[in-house]
Structure 1
């Protein structure tokens, strides 16, 4: 038996039930990872505030970051979620797969972003100098760099929870690469 059980709505605190209902209204369903976080008195609300902060990155750029980090960390749950969200934000299936390989040949600026994310994630923050310079040469700012770090941190949180808990994927399963 899996130790990490997804609670039912009725098992949540009243404040987390309200947050659950808000997510349900916004998305039409509540992803398993959110429901699991709602077991904790503050985690879901804190997480939603964290990911809902203003960002200099576009939703498409945030999805690119999420796809790369989730692939590197081997998180099928988040690969699947962000493949679906990436398509909702304008990527094709083929582009989501290419992004997961650490490339974006279809967009040079996005390619510099993805290369930086690969370098930061694989090297635990010790990104290669040339990759950093290419990111800025592509037109990104230091504010965008900071926001990249926030999205990487977001994905590390969800990747680690989903991987460790063996979270049941409640999105269409992302194609293996």
Structure 2
């Protein structure tokens, strides 16, 4: 069975070394996922540009999408990373677990976002009419819909990379859920 390794700063291109330096300054470390992208000359920079693009969605809403998508795709790395980021964006542990289980009883607008995101991911972009109607009834716009798809796409990239490689999770491990979405 092939094993996948995380490159060190010295093993990546000069361009990626500069990105590592910026990540170390901003985050205090280079997450294994980002380091793995650096095995490709342009993937890390491209991915960070996608992830950091301007959005009509608030950071908290993007974390909802990240958590739901990562749960459906069963990516332990992203579940763990976004549990930590979700806490930094104001969610508590119980709320994060509820989001990962497919609901947000604590916020009706976020609940519509959870259900819409789950429908998008589970149905490969063919969300149910009910989830679309609830999404728009909650106050989201077509511009928000586009941004939801950008965040889902971003997260699918990460989920698939980790699910294929299964390198070490370097965030506190998110608790496993008894039932999947």
- Tell me the equivalent position of 1:96: 96
After superposition, the C-alpha distances for 1:78-97 in whole angstroms (9 at most, x for unaligned) are 00000000000000011000
Alignment of 1:3-82 (within 5 A): 3-82=3-82
Q: 1:13 offset after TM fit, Å?
A: 0.5
Listed as ranges, the gaps of 5+ residues in structure 2 are none
TM-score (norm 1): 0.98
Tell me how many residue pairs correspond in the alignment. 177
Q: CA deviation at 1:130?
A: 1.2
What TM-score do the two structures reach when normalised by structure 2?
Answer: 0.96
Name stretches of at least 5 consecutive residues in structure 1 with no aligned partner: none
Q: CA deviation at 1:4?
A: 1.5
* Residue 2 of structure 1: how far off its partner (Å): 4.6
CA RMSD of aligned residues (A): 0.8
Structure 2 residue 154 is the aligned partner of structure 1 residue 151:
no
Distance between the aligned counterparts of 2:51 and 2:8, measured in 1? 23
